[in-house]
Structure 1
Amino acid sequence: MAGNSHRRGAIRKDGTKKGQVVGSGGQRRKGLEGKGPTPRAEDRYGHPAQRKAAAAARTDKKRANSKNKSEGPEIIAGRNPVVEALRANVPATALYVALNIDADDRVKDAVHRAADKGISILEVPRDELDRKTGGAMHQGLGLQVPPFEYTHPDDLLAMARDSGEAPLIVALDGVTDPRNLGAVIRSAAAFGAHGVLLPARRSAGMTAVAWRTSAGTAARLPVAMATNLTRQLQSWASAGLMIAGLDADASLEIDNLDLATDPLVIVLGSEGKGLSRLVRENCDYTVSIPMAPGVESLNASVAASVLLAEVARRRRITGRV
């Protein structure tokens, strides 16, 4: 009946918490209220900027995981590589030998050398060795190498000056092959360099492969790592060191390298790209190695050997070694 205030649904029912069922109950007014500022594009799901930010975050996470993985112990896999590493006195913490392995001369040699050096010898199932070596062709042998401890660049220069000789440091720019790195370290030690400097990015690190290729010299030659190679070269230049970069289009040939007896940093680039632009701009001189026609370049380790041998020769002649 019209005007009956007790009709069903017109008022609150006794014993319920629900409000009036007729009308909006104020919901329309709330719907018209503002919801705050518009979220940033990076925070709006499905927006191109949000997808790009999410992809960048995933990439950073992968890099972090990769870095953490590289900072852990590494495994040199394979009978020949393990024996070579032990002969080269590469620091090792454990020798893994697969159960029921066919013990040939290389296996016996590896076990005897590890025992003589006090390295733990552990027999493990073959599937566990597969896991530890990441599925590499280990042939039943794996040698665990601890993480490499890099020297700070400032400490490297201090040690070079404390030697009583004109500092001689080798810096690498974009050398990504660990075998080249190990060979450069070996040449640097052979020709009297006081240390090697690596950039933190776009460079090979002291992996098990680099250890083995260096023939153990990395254990006695300081290897430093710079967060920014260009800034580090600028810092050393301010400290009185000459910076000489090896470059095909150089201002100076190796035959005229009179600054070899001065405090010197030799910078080597990759075989393909050479020195980066910023590094080249921060060199006091660029140096080239004369070669026969038809030969474009040498790889980093060979070029380092040639240049360092010339520096060592000039220092011997002048007595500044």
Structure 2
Amino acid sequence: MEYIFGKNPVIELIKSGHEVSEIFMENSPAKKPFFREVIAKMRELKKVIKYSYVTREKLTNMCLSPDHQGIAAEFGGFKTAGIQAYLKEIGKKEDIFLFILDCIHDPHNLGAILRSSYSLGVSGCVIFEKRSAKINATVAKTSAGAVFHSKLIMSEGIFDAITNLRGAGFTVLGCEMNAEKNIFDYNLKKGRYAVILSNEGEGLSGKSQSKIDGTVKIPMAADFDSLNVSVTAGIIAYEYARQGFAK
């Protein structure tokens, strides 16, 4: 069992298909209106979930953080799929867009990427078992609960992901500030695409570049080093969504 906390994460957890064991709410009159909203959402969705009122101190100890907004939930754990299982699941589906998240160690960046990706219709995110921030309560809170609706695809590492996805017909692109082509040059809604987003401090390794189909960039108006990786993800995710809106 794991704990998550915060208003939006708990609401989205309730709305998702995850198993929820219990919801804990701070015994504070000031927060009662929101708690009534949570209880109403459970009833609306016909979810029978145990809930109880506890002290703020107990919530803080439970969450290992004072930033719980007076609410937390115990649940069965985050849902992920192995990359082989995911490829079997999608079968012959033609138009898919994924992010491959390489060396994203900051849980706040990871949560922000998941929030943008889910909101803008990205099919899923490939995350590595040893080269990624752990999916945890911080990721859930930063994603505003989007993590519970996102397709999280686990891979052993970057080369495993590239090999499996290219073998399944994906065009794999790396996002690099010095690339010749722009991300806007691609019709991301037509075909299978996966874009690698790397930690801005490390970038995409030369060995990885040698195994992919090409690199792309986001054109910049100023001569500046780079964008934060979560901002980059948001721009690319919006371009993917925009191409669908433009039809």
State the partner residue of 2:34: 109
Matched residue type, 1:93: S
Mark the runs of 5 or more structure 1 residues left unpaired by the alignment: 1-71, 77-81
Deviation, 1:234, is: 1.3
- In structure 2, what is the Cα distance between the partners aligned to 1:289 and 1:167? 21
- In structure 1, what is the Cα distance between the partners aligned to 2:22 and 2:29? 18
Residue of structure 2 aligned with 1:238, choices 157, 164, 167 = 167
Q: Percent identity?
A: 26
Deviation, 1:242, is: 0.8
Q: How many pairs does the alignment contain? A: 238
- In structure 1, what is the Cα distance between the partners aligned to 2:68 and 2:236? 37
2:125, 2:153 within 8 Å by CA — same for their partners in 1?
Answer: yes
Residue of structure 2 aligned with 1:265, choices 170, 194, 200 = 194
State the TM-score, normalizing by the size of structure 1.
Answer: 0.64
Classify the secondary structure of the residue corresponding to 2:161: helix
The structure with higher relative contact order (CA 8 Å, sep 6+) is: 2
State the partner residue of 2:108: 179
1:170, 1:267 within 8 Å by CA — same for their partners in 2?
Answer: yes
Matched residue type, 2:224: V
Q: Is 1:84 the equivalent of 2:8?
A: yes
Are the structure 2 counterparts of residues 115 and 261 from structure 1 closer, same or farther at C-alpha, using a change threshold of 3 Å? closer
Matched residue type, 2:28: D
Are the structure 2 counterparts of residues 293 and 193 from structure 1 closer, same or farther at C-alpha, using a change threshold of 3 Å? same
Residue of structure 2 aligned with 1:93, choices 21, 36, 51 = 21
Are the structure 2 counterparts of residues 128 and 306 from structure 1 closer, same or farther at C-alpha, using a change threshold of 3 Å? closer
Are the structure 2 counterparts of residues 127 and 210 from structure 1 closer, same or farther at C-alpha, using a change threshold of 3 Å? closer
State the TM-score, normalizing by the size of structure 2.
Answer: 0.80
State the partner residue of 1:38: none
Query: How much is the aligned-residue C-alpha RMSD, in angstroms?
Result: 2.9
Are the structure 2 counterparts of residues 107 and 142 from structure 1 closer, same or farther at C-alpha, using a change threshold of 3 Å? farther
Q: Is 1:284 the equivalent of 2:213?
A: yes
Are the structure 2 counterparts of residues 130 and 303 from structure 1 closer, same or farther at C-alpha, using a change threshold of 3 Å? closer
Spell out, residue by residue over 1:80-112, the C-alpha distance to the aligned partner (whole angstroms, 9 max, x if none): xx22323444554322245xx4320x3441354
Matched residue type, 1:155: A
1:251, 1:285 within 8 Å by CA — same for their partners in 2?
Answer: no
Are the structure 2 counterparts of residues 258 and 251 from structure 1 closer, same or farther at C-alpha, using a change threshold of 3 Å? farther
Deviation, 1:248, is: 0.9
Larger radius of gyration: 1
